[in-house]
């Protein structure tokens, strides 16, 4: 276990520092899985698990329909949070007009949360759930920007062999749940939902997660008391059938992060006795060793920020506990759109935060986190043509060039001099 904890984060970090390795590694892993599926289907045709024949977009409705007529219900659901409406704070910006995507989405609704218990359910890669009557539960099996009718679970070739798991098994894995933002905001809060539904976590036999190879995954699960021997790594296993599935709802749908999620992460990882706000630290989060979304003129930007007393930090090798302490002590945080901004959940109220965005890829999740944490949020677009209303190109992986004069104006507007 100790070798696993030390080696795998280093291997992962090495790949992250060498982006040229990422695509070949993904291709090799996907090819090996396809070969595995083809061989299984060829030699185990009679035992091949079927793909779901349809989808259900409401797990609560599925539970009610499935248990109709049963004297003793074999499935159950408990609602934890009711549907609520929420608000994003109006962001600070340059110019007279708030960008249309912010203006149109200052109000948003959050669906109810729940925890269901379902017998003989199946779980696929990314935490997708198939009911015992062979329906895809699409409200807990979301693929971002994909219709449920086009879901990969509907293709027999993607199902592959199934592993049977006895006992109570909780699914935490979500789509894209390997990355830091989705791990912290999507995966871990599902554990809190289970706790809020009055389950004893020690009585759950296994927990399904996407993977557990990075230092932050290992650290956070250890902090939350989930031992490694209880994990099922669905990214490797791909397909399991469980005796009793504990199924929490998704907690973050289309950038609408709920406040309780931010409060949960803050409470778990922030040392309430550590208050270093008076230090007034100014932080710039560099993506210099990230695999994508770099600042092409970062050297000039760094020179500007250093002249104003900013510290330049890279977060990939820091413990989550150290990141929490760093952001809790900050007075100003500047960074480009990316997973590092997840750490705004650790900031004290009224910390000034600036998100640099590509003008054709505007996401609202960090504005939402800032609003829930009562931060003073500002945005600044990098150079390029602004997306027209409803017509983003979603260039979420492209590099950005920061207009340094615009940056000076924005910092002045923030009172940073």
Structure tokens at 236: 């490797």
Question: Does domain 270-413 bear CATH number 3.40.50?
Answer: yes
Query: Is 90 exceeded by the pLDDT of residue 66?
Result: yes
Residue-level pLDDT at 6: 42
Query: Is 80 exceeded by the pLDDT of residue 28?
Result: no
Residue entry with tokens 């062999």: 161
Rounded distance between C-alpha atoms, residue 47 and residue 33, angstroms: 18
Rounded distance between C-alpha atoms, residue 137 and residue 57, angstroms: 6
Query: Is 50 exceeded by the pLDDT of residue 380?
Result: yes
Element (H, E) at 79: strand 76-81
| Per-residue pLDDT band at 51 (split at 50, 70, 90) | confident
The whole-number average pLDDT for the span 148-153 is 78
How are beta strands 231-233 and 206-209 bridged, if at all?
parallel
The CA–CA distances, whole Å, from 269 to 9, 88, 244, 311, 343 equal: 20, 24, 31, 22, 10
Rounded distance between C-alpha atoms, residue 402 and residue 404, angstroms: 6
CB within 8 Å of 211: residues ≥ 6 apart: 178, 217, 233, 234, 235, 236
Sorted by where each begins, the domain ranges of the chain are 2-88+110-254, 270-413
Residue-level pLDDT at 245: 98
Structure tokens at 206: 């296994």
Mean pLDDT of the chain: 87
297-353, pLDDT tens digit by residue? 999 999 999 999 999 999 988 999 999 999 999 999 999 999 999 999 999 999 999
How are beta strands 239-248 and 113-124 bridged, if at all?
antiparallel
Residue-level pLDDT at 143: 87
Query: Is 90 exceeded by the pLDDT of residue 396?
Result: no
The whole-number average pLDDT for the span 368-373 is 97
Residue-level pLDDT at 46: 45
Half-sphere exposure of 358 (CA within 13 A, CB side): 19
Element (H, E) at 123: strand 113-124
Q: Which of 249, 256, 187 is nearest to 224 (CA)?
A: 187
Q: Which pTM does this prediction carry?
A: 0.88
Element (H, E) at 136: strand 135-137
Query: Is 80 exceeded by the pLDDT of residue 5?
Result: no
219-271, pLDDT tens digit by residue? 999 999 999 999 999 988 889 999 999 999 999 877 789 999 999 999 999 97
Query: Is 60 exceeded by the pLDDT of residue 26?
Result: no
């Amino acid at each position: 276990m100790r070798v696993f904890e030390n080696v795998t984060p280093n291997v992962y970090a090495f790949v992250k520092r060498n982006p040229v390795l990422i695509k070949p590694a993904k291709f090799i892993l996907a090819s090996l899985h396809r070969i595995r599926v083809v061989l299984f289907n060829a030699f185990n045709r009679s035992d091949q698990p079927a793909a779901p024949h349809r989808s259900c977009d409401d797990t609560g409705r599925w539970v009610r329909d499935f248990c109709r007529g049963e004297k003793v219900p074999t499935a159950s659901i408990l609602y934890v949070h009711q549907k609520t409406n929420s608000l994003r704070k109006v962001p600070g910006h340059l110019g007279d007009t708030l960008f249309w995507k912010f203006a149109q989405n200052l109000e948003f609704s959050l669906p109810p949360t729940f925890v269901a218990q379902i017998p003989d359910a199946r779980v696929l890669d990314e935490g997708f759930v198939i009911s015992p009557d062979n329906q895809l539960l699409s409200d807990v099996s979301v693929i971002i920007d994909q219709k449920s009718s086009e879901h990969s679970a509907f293709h027999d070739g993607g199902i592959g062999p199934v592993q049977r798991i006895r006992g109570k098994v909780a699914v935490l894995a979500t789509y894209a749940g390997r990355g830091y933002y989705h791990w912290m905001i999507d995966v871990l809060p599902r554990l809190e939902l289970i706790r809020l539904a009055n389950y004893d976590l020690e009585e759950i036999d296994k927990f399904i997660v996407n993977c557990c190879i990075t230092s932050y995954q290992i650290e956070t699960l250890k902090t939350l008391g989930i031992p490694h021997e209880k994990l099922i790594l669905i990214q490797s296993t791909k397909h399991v059938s469980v005796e009793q599935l504990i199924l929490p709802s998704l907690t973050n749908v289309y950038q609408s992060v709920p406040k309780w999620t931010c409060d949960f992460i803050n409470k778990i990882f922030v040392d309430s006795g550590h208050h270093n706000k008076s230090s007034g630290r100014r932080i710039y989060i560099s993506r210099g060793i990230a695999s994508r979304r770099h600042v092409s003129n970062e050297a000039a930007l760094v020179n500007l920020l250093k002249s104003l007393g900013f510290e330049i930090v890279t977060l990939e090798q820091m413990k989550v506990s150290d990141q929490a302490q760093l952001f809790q002590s900050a007075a100003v945080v500047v960074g480009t759109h990316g997973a590092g901004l997840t750490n705004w959940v650790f900031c004290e109220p009224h910390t000034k935060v600036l998100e640099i965005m590509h003008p054709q890829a505007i996401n609202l999740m960090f504005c939402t986190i800032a609003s829930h944490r009562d931060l003073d949020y500002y945005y600044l677009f990098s150079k390029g043509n602004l997306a027209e209303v409803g017509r983003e190109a979603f260039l979420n992986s492209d590099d950005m060039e920061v207009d340094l004069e615009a940056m000076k104006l924005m910092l002045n507007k923030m009172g940073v001099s």
